[in-house]
């Protein structure tokens, strides 16, 4: 995981050679003190990491325990006597797979649309001066300040009249609109950070404008695009208030709606924590997998950006 | 790209309508008594209707209406009002038939969201239908929503704990209060109830002849300051303070946990709780089911687990708040004849009996025998007859959405002055009830 | 600190890429073509709803109107009604306080964690990053559910741990009962969820701070605190200010977390934030006109609060 917000101003590139100086420094008292401090900081970092991950651990752990155990007032901290029973009952029926399919389709479409639209817009506002540019920039920033809780009825009416209720496209339009403003801001910094001279130099070397863009500029933008993609993915994957009105049919449920309805039907009979946690785990897993997948890309993108910059 | 069923169905409906209006030799419309074949949608709330009943509705409906199909969608209770608010006015996407919480009915009946069912009333059961539910579904003397099923609340208790303390099963409400107060030992609640839990708490109001609100010429008035209501509230306050160790801020508590033995055989957290009938399946000793999972045995050991009905002030039964729901047809439904046919199936002897066999109180009093004759069934039938509902005011849903009674009951549970609180909340609630 | 990409970058700025903005000879249609898709989706997804909100806020619009009765124009009546409602002002004050506390706590903790990541061994850094990533990847409904359970008065781990540590008064303690402790729990959850984003963003910015510059400062005798305030902070300031702005915008819009926590028995009227207030007004009470008026007011309020930041950002951008 690396760049998540583009620096509107591009700070100085790390210079080669600076890294090595520390290692060659002579062993002094100050250095010992620094090492002790390093160990303490390391410990602190591990403790914080564990604390931060604890709720996640708790979720996975509980998903493996039988419900009667979870209701007890003395918590169980380790998965002794673990069972997959919760997962079995959660996955019985096809509601999970249908919700998974819906979520994947909506999230996929949203991520692609957001990246393309936001990238174009970022290109426009950072590479061109044009009439209405400032208005557009300000509008983009302010439009995300509109509270979403009052929009249900308008959004429903709009989708209904366009015959897009319960459709992947309808929700994806709403999600894209919700996510695009922020990603434009994010990418704008990245685009502005790529010196146009690089591209021009490549063109002097005989590359076409498109090729110069693809070979030189695009790789430098990769971390920004990945970061925007991650953001769009998370938003679309987790959203449920818009989905609630835009996808009223049971067959069109996304995963968060599925979890919510699962929670609701469970709550009316006394929450079956084990099953709820199993359901939550199932929703979190694709996100974690996705994060692990893009992590490598992001880092390599950043490294190549740093080297070429 | 997956455009899901309803959207496609909506388009089909639109096409069918155009076809209908342009062609004059097309399929028959409803005029000769047979409805045009179509797909209709039924919204059920929550998971209470078992699969067996859903399947029955589908196959029977499709048999009796050849060419038509029934789609059943399950909606969450939490989101039901939101979804009804958006979907019911939308003729292309409205569900045709909807289940709705009994106390939510007035919000929609008063603004014409539902089809007038008065002409069908007698055919569907007439005066045999549960009166309190029929009443809550009425507006301007017309029937817009009819009862679907009712549930009931029981007092679940631990006979072993009660007899160990030498306390007898009570016969009046006052005796009940004394008994559970005596049973409370500080760690084990005599009667576990959360302070905000007004749905259980209003039983004390009803038992004393009190009302939450009354209507006069279309104007609703909150009547918390009525002397009977005050008596009930004060009695409840005494019971909560004396018998319950559950925090005043709790409402939807999984009370049934309180009745079970603690880990390693520790004493249960409460001697008595109040809960709907299905709670029994979360109560009992631990056992292992066919899948090898630890579950409760459903109160198999009658020496440790039992139920009784909350007694009234004079020895009869206290009117408790009845859970359950109503059913209605959307006014914007494009297939009213088919929808009415579905209601005919729902109110048929066969389906009503199936409801009873699954532990859901049938709307039609003639078929309550189907609940069986065990302790639960007999108590349920008794309490249903004495049950009461919250006021059928247009603004009732708003009051619930703002959690006003939760706050009132918490304040009472925390030892507030009931008369002063009643006056304060009357002032707050009256305008809300009238929808302003 | 002005942006290094501004044509008039001050000479004192640390070594930066020279990237003077190029003014083109008349951009032509290109930029407009480029913004069309984004503009179209914004108009479709937010434009119409915004328009509907604005119109509805000037009408009498309740459930009857939603079910087809024609709405009547009432001018600014809804605003007058809303503004004279003292509950609105209580909610506004509460929301702003909550938003500021959360935004600054999130950014503060995020910066500290980013510095920590920079200071520790790469292997430990990855452990920390994974811990944060896991929290970030948790779906919101799942996260709030887990936290609600951790804070549960009867079966919650937090009370259990506190009692084990000797704080007996936490036996059966209800965290969500009092507004203040309710907001403490809400803050814990929101900070927990938002810190990973801030920490990882700031860390990414920190990795771009030249080691040479830091080394030079160290040789000049600057202590770590001085280096942080005078070199590191100014260099990551652009990232910090946009992250802070985003947190403020997002924290003012907190809705679902509060709603889910309220289900656990909080005094609702004392814990509502603006989003919940709008929701209760609109969906709960079917006062759609009132909800629309509050929405428009919140939009204006957010614009107002964030204006100084936005102006700064624009200045750096110009």
Contacts of A180 in chain C (CB under 8 A): 38, 41-42
153-182 of C, contacting B, C-beta below 8 A: 153-154, 172, 174, 176-177
* Nearest CA among C280, C304, C278 for reference residue C292: C278
Domain of B127 in residue numbering reads as 39-151+323-385
**What pLDDT, on a 0 to 100 scale, did the predictor assign at position A16?**
41
- Distance between CA atoms of B396 and B135, rounded to whole angstroms? 14
Q: Determine, for residues C285 and B398 on separate chains, whether the beta-carbon distance falls below 8 Å.
A: yes
For residue B7, tell me if it sits in a domain: no
Residue A56 lies in a domain: no
Strands B97-101 and B39-45 turn out to be: parallel
- B25 within domain boundaries: no
Q: Are C144 and A240 in contact (CB under 8 A)?
A: no
Q: State the Cα–Cα distance between residues C133 and C137, nearest whole angstrom.
A: 6
Q: What is the CATH number of the domain that holds B43?
A: 3.40.190.10
- Predicted pLDDT of residue A271: 65
**Using CB atoms and an 8 Å cut-off, which of residues 396-415 of chain B contact chain C?**
397-398, 401-403, 406-407, 410
The pair of three-digit structure tokens given for residue C119, joined into one six-digit string: 């200071």
CA-wise closest residue to C130 among C66, C199, C76:
C199
Kindly state whether A168 is in contact with chain B, defined as any CB-CB distance less than 8 angstroms: yes
**Contact B107/C176, CB-based, under 8 Å?**
no
C280-289 pLDDT, tens digit each: 888 778 889 9
A42 lies in some domain: no
Q: For residues B299 and B280, is the Cβ–Cβ distance under 8 A?
A: yes
Q: Are residues B161 and B143 in the same domain?
A: no
**pLDDT tens figures, A183-224:** 888 788 778 777 777 777 777 777 777 787 777 777 778 777
**What's the average model confidence in pLDDT over C264-270?**
77
Confidence of residue C90 (pLDDT cuts 50, 70, 90): very high
The answer to whether C104 contacts chain A (CB < 8 Å) is no
pLDDT band for A26, please (50, 70, 90 cuts): low
Question: Do residues B409 and B359 share a domain?
Answer: no
User: Which pair of tokens denotes residue A129?
Assistant: 């001066």
> Can you tell me whether residue C272 is helix, strand or coil?
coil
* pLDDT at C267 (0 to 100): 77
- Report whether pLDDT(C20) > 70: no
DSSP secondary structure string, B190-205?
Answer: SSB--TT-HHHHHHHH
Minimum-distance CB partner of A85 among B47, B75, B291:
B291
- Specify whether B299 is located in the same domain as B371: no
Q: Is the pLDDT of residue C28 over 80?
A: no
The answer to whether residues B329 and B373 belong to one domain is yes
**Are residue B194 and residue B74 in the same domain, yes or no?**
no
Tell whether B101 and B201 lie within a shared domain. no
User: Do the beta carbons of residue A276 and residue C145 sit within 8 Å?
Assistant: yes
Give the closest residue to C186 by CA, choosing from C143, C137, C154. Answer: C143
pLDDT at A146 over 50: yes
Helix, strand, or coil (residue C84): coil
Q: What is the CA radius of gyration of chain B?
A: 24
Q: Do residue B346 and residue B419 come from a single domain?
A: no
Chain mean position to CA A6: 15
Which has more confidence, B224 or A271?
B224
Q: What is the phi/psi pair of residue B280, to 5°?
A: -55, -30
With a cut of 90, say whether residue A151 has pLDDT above it.
Answer: no
CATH of the domain at A296: 1.10.3720.10
Q: Cβ separation of A165 and B74 shorter than 8 Å?
A: no
pLDDT at A19 (0 to 100): 43
A46 within some domain: no
Within-domain flag for B3: no
Question: Has residue B171 been placed in a domain?
Answer: yes
Q: Which residue has the tokens 């983009």?
A: A140
Tell whether A27 is covered by a domain: no
**Which alpha helices (H) appear in A145-272, and where do they start and end?**
152-161, 168-193, 196-204, 209-212, 218-238, 241-246, 255-267
Q: Domain limits at A140? A: 86-308
Q: Domain tally for chain B? A: 2
**Positions of chain B with pLDDT under 50:** 1-33
C282 token code pair:
């609109």
Compute CA B390 distance to the chain's CA centroid, rounded to the nearest angstrom: 11
Cα–Cα distance between B186 and B175 in angstroms, integer? 20
Cα separation of C161 and C156, whole Å? 9
- The least confident of A305-309, B149-153, B354-358, C186-190 is A305-309
Out of B2, B76, B83, whose CB is closest to A168? B2
Q: In what order do the strands lie in the sheet with B306-308?
A: B272-276, B153-157, B306-308
Which of the residues B78, B85, B410 would you substitute to probe the C interface, choosing the one with the greatest number of C C-beta atoms within 10 Å? B85
A124: in domain: yes
Considering the domain boundaries, does residue A209 fall inside one?
yes
> pTM, whole model, 2 decimals?
0.81
Locate tokens 């503004």: which residue?
C83
In a domain, A125, yes or no: yes
Please tell me whether residues B272 and B216 are part of one structural domain. yes
pLDDT at res. A134: 84
A181 CB-near residues (< 8 Å, 6+ apart): A140, A141, A143, A144, C42
Neighbours of chain A (3+ CB pairs under 8 A): B, C
- Say how many C-beta atoms besides its own lie within 10 A of residue A74's C-beta: 12
The nearest alpha carbon in chain A to C3 belongs to A9
For chain A, the domain total comes to 1
The pLDDT of residue A279: 87
Encoded tokens for B207 = 């038992």
CA distances from A248 to A298, A302, B436, C19 (A): 37, 42, 29, 50
B312 and B330 assigned to the same domain: no
**Between chains, do A143 and C42 touch, taking CB under 8 Å as contact?**
yes
Helix (H) or strand (E) segment spanning residue C33: helix C30-42
Minimal-distance CA residue of chain A relative to C293: A150
E strand intervals along B48-113: 69-75, 97-101
B181 and B294: one domain?
Answer: yes
Q: Are residues B244 and B213 in the same domain?
A: yes
Chain C contact present for A142, CB below 8 A = yes
Same domain, B284 and B327: no
- Among B412-416, C35-39, C133-137, the range scoring the smallest mean pLDDT is C133-137
- Helical packing angle, A273-308 and C140-150, nearest 10°: 120
Q: A168 or B315: whose pLDDT is higher?
A: A168
- End-to-end alpha carbon distance in chain B: 44
Residue C284 has its nearest CB partner, among B196, B248, B402, at: B402
Q: Which residue has the tokens 């002897």?
A: B349
pLDDT at C227 over 50: yes
Domains of chain C, each with CATH number or no CATH: 97-267 (1.10.3720.10)
Which candidate from C62, C176, C286 shows the least CB-CB separation from B249?
A: C176
What pLDDT, on the 0 to 100 scale, is given for residue C9?
31
| Whether B229 contacts B351, CB under 8 Å | no
Q: What's the rounded Cα separation, in Å, for the pair A24 and B304?
A: 77
Give residue-wise pLDDT tens across range C268-277: 888 889 989 9
């Amino acid at each position: 995981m690396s760049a998540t917000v583009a620096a509107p101003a591009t700070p100085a590139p790390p210079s080669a050679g600076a890294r090595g100086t520390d290692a060659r420094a002579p062993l002094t008292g100050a250095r010992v003190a620094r090492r002790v401090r390093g160990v303490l900081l390391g410990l602190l970092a591990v403790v914080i990491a564990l604390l931060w991950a604890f709720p996640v651990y708790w979720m996975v752990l509980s998903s493996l325990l039988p419900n009667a155990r979870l209701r007890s007032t003395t918590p169980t901290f380790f998965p002794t006597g673990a069972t997959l029973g919760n997962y079995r009952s959660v996955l019985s029926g096809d509601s999970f797979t249908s919700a998974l399919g819906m979520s994947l389709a909506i999230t996929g479409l949203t991520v692609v649309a957001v990246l393309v639209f936001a990238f174009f817009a970022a290109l426009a506002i950072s590479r061109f001066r044009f009439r209405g540019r400032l208005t557009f920039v300000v509008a983009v920033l302010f439009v995300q300040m509109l509270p979403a809780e009052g929009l249900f009825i308008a959004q429903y009416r709009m989708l209904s009249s366009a015959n897009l209720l319960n459709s992947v496209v309808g929700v994806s339009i709403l999600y894209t609109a919700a996510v695009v403003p922020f990603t434009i801001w994010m990418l704008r910094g990245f685009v502005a950070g790529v010196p146009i001279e690089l591209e021009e130099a490549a063109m002097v070397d005989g590359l076409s404008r498109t090729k110069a863009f693809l070979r030189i500029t695009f790789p430098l933008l990769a971390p920004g695009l990945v970061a925007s993609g991650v953001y769009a993915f998370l938003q679309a994957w987790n959203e449920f208030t818009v989905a609630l009105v835009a996808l009223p049919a049971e067959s069109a449920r996304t995963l968060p709606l599925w979890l919510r309805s699962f929670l609701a039907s469970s709550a009316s009979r006394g929450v079956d924590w084990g099953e709820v946690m199993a359901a939550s785990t199932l929703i979190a897993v694709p996100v974690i997998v996705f994060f692990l997948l893009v992590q490598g890309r992001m880092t390599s993108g950043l490294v190549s950006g740093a080297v070429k910059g | 790209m997956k455009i899901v069923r309803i959207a496609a169905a909506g388009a089909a409906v639109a096409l069918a309508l155009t076809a209908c209006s342009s062609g004059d030799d097309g399929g028959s419309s409803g005029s000769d008594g047979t409805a045009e074949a179509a797909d209709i949608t039924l919204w059920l709330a929550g998971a209470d209707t078992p699969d067996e009943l859903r399947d029955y509705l589908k196959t029977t409906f499709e048999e009796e209406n050849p060419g038509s199909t029934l789609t059943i969608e399950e909606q969450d209770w939490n989101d039901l009002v939101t979804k009804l608010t958006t979907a019911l006015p939308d003729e292309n996407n409205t569900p045709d038939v909807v289940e709705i919480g009994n106390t939510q009915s007035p919000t929609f009946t008063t603004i014409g969201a539902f089809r007038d069912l008065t002409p069908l009333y007698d055919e569907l059961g007439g005066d045999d239908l549960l009166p309190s539910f029929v009443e809550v579904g009425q507006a301007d003397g017309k029937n817009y929503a009819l009862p679907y099923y009712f549930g009931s609340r029981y007092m679940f208790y631990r006979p072993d704990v009660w007899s160990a303390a030498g306390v007898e099963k009570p016969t009046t409400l006052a005796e009940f209060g004394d008994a559970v107060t005596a049973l409370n030992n500080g760690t084990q609640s005599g009667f576990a109830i959360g302070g905000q839990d007004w749905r259980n708490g209003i039983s004390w109001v009803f038992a004393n002849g009190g009302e939450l609100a009354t209507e006069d010429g279309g104007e609703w008035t909150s009547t918390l300051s009525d002397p009977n209501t005050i008596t009930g509230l004060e009695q409840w306050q005494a019971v909560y303070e004396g018998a319950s160790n559950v925090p005043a801020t709790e409402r939807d508590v999984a009370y049934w946990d309180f009745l079970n033995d603690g880990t390693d055989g520790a004493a249960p957290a409460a001697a008595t709780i109040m809960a709907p009938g299905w709670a029994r399946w979360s109560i009992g000793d631990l056992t292992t089911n066919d899948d090898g999972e630890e579950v409760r045995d459903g109160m198999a050991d009658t020496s440790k687990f039992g139920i009784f009905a909350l007694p009234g002030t004079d020895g009869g039964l206290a009117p408790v708040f009845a859970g359950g729901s109503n059913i209605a047809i959307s006014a914007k439904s494009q297939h009213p004849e088919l929808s009415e046919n579905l209601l005919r199936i729902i109110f048929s002897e066969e389906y009503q009996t199936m409801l009873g066999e699954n532990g859901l109180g049938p709307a039609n009093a003639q078929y309550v025998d189907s609940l069986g004759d065990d302790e639960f069934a007999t108590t349920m039938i008794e309490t249903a007859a004495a049950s009461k509902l919250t006021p059928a005011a247009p603004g009732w849903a708003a009051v619930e959405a703002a959690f006003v009674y939760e706050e009132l009951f918490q304040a009472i549970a925390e030892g507030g002055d009931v008369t002063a609180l009643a006056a304060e909340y009357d002032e707050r609630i009256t305008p809300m009830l009238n929808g302003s | 600190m002005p942006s290094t990409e501004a044509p008039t970058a001050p000479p004192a700025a640390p070594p930066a890429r020279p990237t003077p903005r190029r003014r083109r000879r008349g951009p032509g249609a290109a930029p407009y073509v480029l913004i069309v898709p984004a503009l179209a989706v914004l108009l479709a997804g937010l434009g119409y709803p915004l328009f509907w909100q604005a119109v509805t806020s000037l009408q009498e619009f309740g459930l009857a109107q939603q079910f087809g009765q024609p709405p009547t124009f009432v001018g600014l009546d809804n605003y007058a009604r809303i503004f004279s409602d003292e509950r609105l002002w209580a909610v506004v004050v509460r929301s702003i306080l909550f938003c500021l506390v959360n935004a600054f706590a999130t950014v503060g903790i995020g910066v500290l964690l980013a510095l920590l990541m920079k200071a520790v061994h790469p292997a430990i850094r990855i452990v920390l990053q994974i811990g944060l990533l896991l929290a970030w990847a948790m779906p919101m409904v799942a996260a709030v559910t887990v936290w609600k359970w951790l804070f549960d008065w009867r079966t919650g781990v937090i009370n259990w741990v506190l009692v084990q540590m000797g704080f007996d008064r936490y036996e059966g303690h209800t965290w969500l009962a009092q507004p203040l402790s309710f907001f403490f729990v809400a803050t814990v959850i929101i900070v927990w969820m938002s810190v990973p984003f801030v920490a990882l963003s700031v860390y990414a910015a920190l990795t771009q701070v030249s080691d040479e510059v830091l080394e030079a400062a160290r040789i000049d005798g600057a202590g770590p605190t001085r280096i942080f305030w005078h070199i590191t902070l100014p260099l990551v300031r652009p990232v910090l200010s946009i992250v802070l702005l985003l947190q403020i915008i997002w924290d003012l819009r907190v809705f679902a977390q509060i709603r889910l926590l309220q289900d656990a028995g909080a005094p609702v009227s004392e814990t509502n934030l603006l989003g919940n207030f709008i929701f209760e007004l609109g969906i709960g009470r079917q006062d759609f006109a009132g909800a629309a008026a509050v929405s428009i007011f919140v939009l204006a309020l957010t614009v107002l609060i964030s204006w100084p930041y936005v102006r700064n950002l624009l200045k750096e951008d110009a």
